[in-house]
């Protein structure tokens, strides 16, 4: 098997351990992870069929066959013509009779799953999420470098933008500024949440036409990709002079963020990290206002495994990438979230470095 398909080999190893004969992967995020082909699915069936041994087979529209061969490095490509039923072809030429248990990519459209299961009646189907989650959550050296560059790109974009704020600017104007800093290449993806004043108390408010006033709280949660891998940073500041209450709340959230990273560094489980981070805010008297989990995994998706949440007892391992992002949200007043991107190392962690206290007032 060529070097391009090392991830396929890792998947096949997991398949054999789980007694899974075959995995069906459509265009999408897991297809991208396997073959470095980033495309969304369309109404034309284009899938990779991976058995527990040997090279994958692709079932694609005929006019796409040569392109997929070149992009994937796989020559075993079966094309279907516009007048053919690709699902009948899947059953007759791709899936062997001795295949019994088939894992389905969790991102597969339900309508496509229905057609596949009807054409392959008698086969056993299972959710392939755990297969991909267990592999994608452990980043290799190249992925880690991409993640480090993505988080740096994201944090620098926010910091530069904060220093360019001026009275009267709208949330949507700031979103445009961030877009220009996060989408540097045509292939780059990005997101940005810009929240002024009491809008900052809405954890996932997407920004609008609110105008920035002196002494407003400014919460920016933004991220961009580097070679398809995401950064995700939140910085909360005050445009002007911070109130005594803001400084008090900021201290609690900042200490919780630091505690979460300490627990991650010493190898605690996601459950222990979440509980330990949350306890800092509970002891400060604001436990009811920390309304979400402590963090989530990062990678080819902004939200993926591992999730840093109470109840997740799966140990973190070297190569896990995730956020630590405690917050306190006071409805009608303001919210504060402090979010860092963390990479688990053999010893300790690597975390985004942001001058939080220097950014408390701008």
Report whether pLDDT(77) > 70. Answer: yes
Please give the domain boundaries of the chain with CATH numbers for all domains. 3-136 (3.40.350.10), 141-359 (3.90.230.10)
316-335 CB burial, b ≥16 within 10 A, e <16:
beebbbbbbbbbbbbeeebb
**Alpha-carbon Rg for the chain in angstroms:** 23
Check if the beta carbon of residue 203 is closer than 8 Å to that of residue 337: yes
d(CA 52, CA 319): 25
**Cβ contact 23:50 at 8 Å:** yes
DSSP 41-69: --SS--EEEEESSS--EEEEEGGGHHHHH
260-298 residue pLDDT tens = 999 999 999 999 999 999 999 999 999 999 999 999 999
Burial category of 133 from C-beta neighbours within 10 Å (exposed 0-12, middle 13-18, buried 19 and up)? middle
Q: In angstroms, rounded to a whole number, what is the distance separating the alpha carbons of residues 269 and 296?
A: 13
Contact assessment for residue 103 and residue 131, using Cβ atoms and an 8 Å cutoff: yes
Q: Please report the pLDDT score of residue 2 as a whole number.
A: 66
Contact 85/45 with Cβ under 8 angstroms?
Answer: no
Q: What is the pLDDT of residues 247-265, one digit of tens each?
A: 999 999 999 999 999 999 9
Contact 248, 335 (CB under 8 A): no
Average pLDDT over residues 131-160: 98
Task: Report how far apart the first and last C-alpha atoms of the chain are (Å, whole number).
Answer: 55
Question: Residue 36 has what pLDDT?
Answer: 95
The per-residue pLDDT for 3 is 63
Q: How many CB atoms within 10 Å of residue 259?
A: 20
- What is the reported pLDDT for 285? 98
Sheet of strand 304-308, all strands in order from the earlier edge strand to the far edge: 304-308, 295-297, 321-324, 340-344, 349-351
pTM over 0.85: yes
Helices (H) and strands (E) in the chain, counts: 10, 17
pLDDT tops 60 at residue 1: no
Query: 152: closest CA among 204, 225, 221, 219?
Result: 225
Query: Which residues neighbour 360 within 8 Å (Cβ) at sequence distance 6 or greater?
Result: 237, 238, 242, 247, 250
Token digits of residue 286: 């604001």
Vertex 294 angle, CA 7 and 354, to 5°: 85
Q: How many CA atoms lie within 13 A of 59 on its CB side?
A: 23
Q: For residues 253 and 250, what is the distance between their CA atoms, to the nearest angstrom?
A: 5
Q: Is the pLDDT of residue 207 over 90?
A: no
Q: What is the pLDDT of residue 7?
A: 97
CB under 8 Å to 125, separation ≥6 — which residues? Answer: 101, 102, 103, 104, 113, 117
98 beta partners: none
- Contact at 8 Å (CB) between 68 and 77? yes
Average pLDDT over residues 102-119: 98
* β-bridge mates for residue 343, sequence order: 321, 350
CA separation for the pair 295, 298 (Å, rounded): 9
pLDDT digit string, tens, across residues 227-249: 999 999 999 999 999 999 999 99
């Amino acid at each position: 098997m060529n070097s391009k398909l090392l991830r396929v080999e890792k998947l096949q190893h997991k398949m054999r351990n789980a007694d899974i004969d075959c995995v069906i992967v459509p265009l999408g995020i897991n297809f991208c992870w396997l073959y470095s082909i980033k495309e969304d699915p369309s109404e034309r069936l284009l899938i990779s069929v991976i058995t527990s041994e040997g090279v994958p087979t692709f079932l694609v529209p005929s006019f796409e066959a040569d392109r997929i061969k070149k992009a994937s490095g796989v020559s075993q490509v079966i094309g279907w013509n516009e007048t053919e039923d690709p699902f009948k072809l899947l059953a007759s030429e791709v899936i062997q009779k001795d295949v019994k248990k088939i894992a389905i990519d969790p991102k597969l459209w339900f309508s496509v799953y229905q057609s596949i299961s009807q054409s392959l009646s008698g086969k056993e189907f299972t959710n392939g999420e755990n297969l991909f989650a267990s592999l994608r959550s452990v980043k290799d050296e190249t992925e880690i470098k991409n993640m480090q560059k993505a988080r740096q790109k994201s944090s620098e974009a926010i910091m530069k933008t904060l220093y360019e704020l001026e009275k009267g600017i709208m949330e949507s104007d700031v979103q445009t500024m961030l877009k220009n800093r996060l989408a540097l290449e045509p292939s780059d993806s990005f997101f940005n949440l810009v929240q002024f004043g009491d809008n900052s108390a809405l954890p996932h408010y997407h920004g609008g036409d609110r105008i920035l006033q002196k002494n407003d709280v400014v919460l920016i949660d933004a991220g961009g990709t580097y070679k398809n891998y995401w950064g995700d940073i939140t910085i909360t500041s005050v445009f002007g002079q911070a109130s005594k209450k803001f400084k008090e709340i900021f201290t609690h959230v900042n200490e919780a963020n630091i505690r979460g990273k300490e627990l991650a560094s010493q190898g605690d489980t996601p459950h222990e990290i979440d509980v330990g981070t949350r306890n800092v805010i509970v002891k400060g008297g604001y436990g009811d206002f920390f309304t979400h989990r402590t963090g989530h995994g990062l990678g080819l998706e902004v939200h993926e495994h591992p999730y840093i949440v109470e109840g997740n007892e799966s140990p973190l391992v070297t190569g896990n990438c995730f956020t630590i992002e405690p917050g306190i949200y006071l409805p009608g007043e303001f919210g504060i979230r402090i979010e860092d991107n963390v990479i688990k190392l053999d010893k300790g962690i690597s975390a985004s470095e942001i001058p939080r206290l220097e950014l408390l007032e701008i």
